[in-house]
Structure 1
Amino acid sequence: MLQDTRTIRNYQKITDSLVELKDRGYTRDELRLYVDGYLASLRCNNTIEAHLIHRLEDEVSRFLYDSSNFSSSGNYELMTEREN
């Protein structure tokens, strides 16, 4: 579980971006490359400590490989419009 506020903010940014990119049609491999680049930039800039980056990577990996996180929001909107 993430507890550091900067780490939590980065987790939220990454996961929001992953959902948006998945909705645009990017594959899971491309999303993984995005995550790797994001984490590499955190390591290079020393914005958060190395052990926190490792925890962040673990949590983001769990998010990325859980398909329930990528249920299409567009389908939900279509369903609600049709029901009305």
Structure 2
Amino acid sequence: MLTDPFVIRYYQKLTDGMVDLWHRGSRYEEMRVYMEGYLTCLRLTNVIEGYQIHRLEEEAYRFLRDPSNFELAMPQMQREHDYY
């Protein structure tokens, strides 16, 4: 579980980027390469501690493996309520 606000922000940016790639038609492999590049940049810049990057990586892989994160949401139709 991620607890540091900065790490959570990086996680959100990473997962938003993966979802955006999915909506643009990218495949799983392309999203994985994007994720690995993102994590490599974090490692090289020393923005956050190594153990935090490792936790972020675990959570990002979990996100990537969950197909429900990439399903298109079906809009809910509002029903008109009959008032008696």
TM-score, scaled to structure 2: 0.86
In the TM superposition, what are the counterparts of 1:1-84 in structure 2 within 5 Å?
Answer: 1-73=1-73, 76-77=74-75
CA distance in 2, matches of 1:40, 1:19: 19
Aligned length: 78
| Long gaps (5+) in structure 2 | 78-84
Aligned identity (percent) is 49
Q: Which runs of 5+ in 1 are unaligned?
A: none
Q: CA deviation at 1:72?
A: 1.6
- TM-score under structure 1 normalisation? 0.86
In structure 2, C-alpha distance between the alignment counterparts of 1:19 and 1:36, rounded to whole Å: 15
RMSD over equivalenced CA pairs, Å: 1.5
- Aligned equivalents of 1:9, 1:44: Cα separation in 2: 18
Q: Which has the higher helix share?
A: 1
The Cα offsets for residues 49-76 of structure 1, whole Å up to 9 and x where unpaired, read as: 0000000000000000100000124xx2
Distance in 2 (alpha carbons) for counterparts of 1:72 and 1:17? 16
Q: Give the ranges of 4+ consecutive aligned residues of structure 1 lying more than 4 Å apart after TM superposition.
A: none
Residues 6-31 of structure 1 show CA distances to partners (whole Å, capped at 9, x for unaligned) of: 10000000111111110111000000
Question: What is the one-letter code of the residue matched to 1:11?
Answer: Y
